[in-house]
Amino acid sequence: GRKGGHKGRARQYTSPEEIDAQLQAEKQKAREEEEQEEGGEGATGDPKKDKKSLDSDESDEDDEDYQQKRKGVEGLIDIENPNRVIQTTKKVTQLDLDGPKELSRREREEIEKQKAKERYMKMHLAGKTEQAKADLARLAIIRKQREEAARKKEEERK
């Protein structure tokens, strides 16, 4: 047979309980950051840390240390790159749903195409397009032929 993995160590999987605990710790941390931004310094965040379990405290501290440690001199230098886009999350209250929505080129072209098609159909139904005129002329010829055929049948019957 086959042997196990080349590392020589058994794989360890994270249990669903640990994953849930980590997610809750991240949510709690996000809430604390929002509260601190709104005006509460460290005093509002301390009671919430007391409420957490020991496991979530340890993972929360690890996450904070990871975010504070930056590669090289990133923490020392403030970067002002005009081309750098900073992702900012907007709250639901800040969203402007009534404002004008910018459409992409493809969306604009699709809307223009639909409007042009609607205009053409209106003109066609009114009989103003070349194709509508040709159709009406053909219909007139067919009606005349049918009337003549009906007359011939009547004459034959008489």
pLDDT of res. 40: 55
Per the structure block, which two tokens stand in for 52?
A: 């957490």
- 11-46: pLDDT as tens digits: 778 899 999 999 999 999 999 998 988 875 544 444
pLDDT of res. 92: 79
The answer to whether the beta carbons of residues 36 and 44 sit under 8 Å apart is yes
pTM above 0.95, yes or no: no
Low-confidence ranges of the chain (pLDDT < 70): 1-9, 40-70, 98-100
pLDDT of res. 157: 92
DSSP 38-65: HT--STTHHHHHHHS-HHHHHHHHHHHH
DSSP the chain: -----TT-S------HHHHHHHHHHHHHHHHHHHHHHHT--STTHHHHHHHS-HHHHHHHHHHHHHHH--STTTTTS----TTPPPP-PPPGGG--SSSPPPPPHHHHHHHHHHHHHHHHHHHHHHT-SHHHHHHHHHHHHHHHHHHHHHHHHHHHH-
pLDDT of res. 4: 61
pLDDT of res. 13: 83
Largest CA distance in the chain: 111
Distance separating alpha carbons of residues 148 and 22, to the nearest angstrom: 88
